[in-house]
Amino acid sequence: MIIDMDHGPVFANTGGAAFDPAKPTAILVHGAGGDHSIWGGQNRYLAHHGASVLAIDLPAHGRSGGKAIDSISGLADFLIAFIAAAKVETPILIGHSMGALASLEAAARLGKDCAGLGLCGVAGQMPVHPDLLGAAQRNELTAAQFIASWGHGSRAHRGGNPTHGVWMLSQAVTLINRTGPGVLYTDLKACNEYKGAMDAAAKVSCPTQFLLGQSDKMTPLKAAQPLINAVADAQVTVLPAIGHMMTVESPTDSCSALMALLERVQAA
């Protein structure tokens, strides 16, 4: 579906089910250089197990129009405006990487108006290596290749994708390269410059699910621990031998963790 906003048309995948704004609504937010397709293993499952789903393409990503938003604060503003535009009554913000930071910041601002929060592949700070920033700024293929290589666990490098016929690393490179010039750099720079995660975490009061990869090199487990300690109502799922791209590397276990969050929201 398309929702018209000041930023331009925003695309959201509903997981193959009719969108009902009165249901608890999982708003799935992708990471740097991504789009809604990273949630292919989760959006349909949640949409057919009691939730409405809006897996969005952020501005300038995927099928959405507009310009890339250059800060996590700005992305949080966008998410709050999107919730209002879609008339979502019970929002559950679920983000991956950059999307996790934006979801965290938005949840902190929404307070009790945010029913649940899912943070996948997240850390208290997300510094980006200068070489990666430089490659992204120059729109070089090596930026996408570095993210694909560093972002997946060792098992994904050997094959065995749970989706038959798909090579995870090549899929990631293709996805990132679909974004327009400068978009990946804008995203990475926003992550690199954001310093408000700990303050935001202390303000979050809703049920929160952390979904982390044991072999994540981009947001290591130890870097998420301060956030976990700061959130009032946190549960943590660690996926063994899985890297930063957990929604693709381990879609079934990711579904289970996010379903547990949905059940907590429904029980509240």
Domain carrying residue 47: 2-126+194-267
Is the pLDDT at 160 greater than 70? The verdict is no
Segment 32-43, tens digit of pLDDT:
999 999 999 899
Q: What is the CATH number of the domain that holds 241?
A: 3.40.50.1820
- 113-128 CB burial, b ≥16 within 10 A, e <16: ebbbbbbbbbbbbbeb
Give the confidence band of 171 by pLDDT, cuts at 50, 70, 90: confident
Residue 30 inside a domain? The answer is yes
The count of domains in the chain is: 1
Residue 171 inside a domain? The answer is no
Answer for the pair 39, 6: CB distance below 8 angstroms, yes or no.
no
Average pLDDT over residues 77-95: 98
C-alpha distances in Å from residue 150, one per residue of 154, 169, 195, 215: 9, 10, 23, 10
Which pLDDT does position 165 carry in this prediction? 59
C-alpha–C-alpha distance, residues 127 and 215, integer Å: 18
Average pLDDT over residues 27-35: 97
Residue 92 inside a domain? The answer is yes
Residue 133 inside a domain? The answer is no
Residue 145: both structure tokens together: 């290749």
Angle among Cα 57, 20, 96 to the nearest 5 degrees reads 30
Residues 6+ apart with CB under 8 A from 233: 205, 206, 207, 208
Segment 49-77, tens digit of pLDDT:
999 999 999 999 999 999 999 999 999 99
Segment 213-252, tens digit of pLDDT:
999 999 999 999 999 999 999 999 999 999 999 999 999 9
Residue 217 inside a domain? The answer is yes
Residue 110: both structure tokens together: 């929404």
Segment 121-148, tens digit of pLDDT:
999 999 999 999 999 999 999 999 999 8
Is the pLDDT at 1 greater than 90? The verdict is yes
pTM (two decimals): 0.95
DSSP state of 139: T
Which pLDDT does position 45 carry in this prediction? 95
Is the pLDDT at 31 greater than 80? The verdict is yes
Q: Is 213 helix (H, G, I), strand (E, B) or coil?
A: strand
Residue 96 inside a domain? The answer is yes
Give the confidence band of 166 by pLDDT, cuts at 50, 70, 90: low
DSSP 66-80: S----SHHHHHHHHH
Residue 10: both structure tokens together: 């925003």
In this structure, the number of other CB atoms found within 10 A of the CB of residue 48 comes to: 12
**Residue 28 carries which side chain, given as an amino acid letter?**
L
Which pLDDT does position 150 carry in this prediction? 84
Q: How many CA atoms lie within 13 A of 223 on its CB side?
A: 20
Residues 6+ apart with CB under 8 A from 83: 27, 91, 110
Angle among Cα 223, 213, 153 to the nearest 5 degrees reads 115
Segment 188-203, tens digit of pLDDT:
999 999 999 999 999 9
Residue 164 inside a domain? The answer is no
Average pLDDT over residues 103-115: 98
Is the pLDDT at 164 greater than 70? The verdict is no
C-alpha–C-alpha distance, residues 192 and 178, integer Å: 22
Residue 187 inside a domain? The answer is no
Average pLDDT over residues 110-129: 97
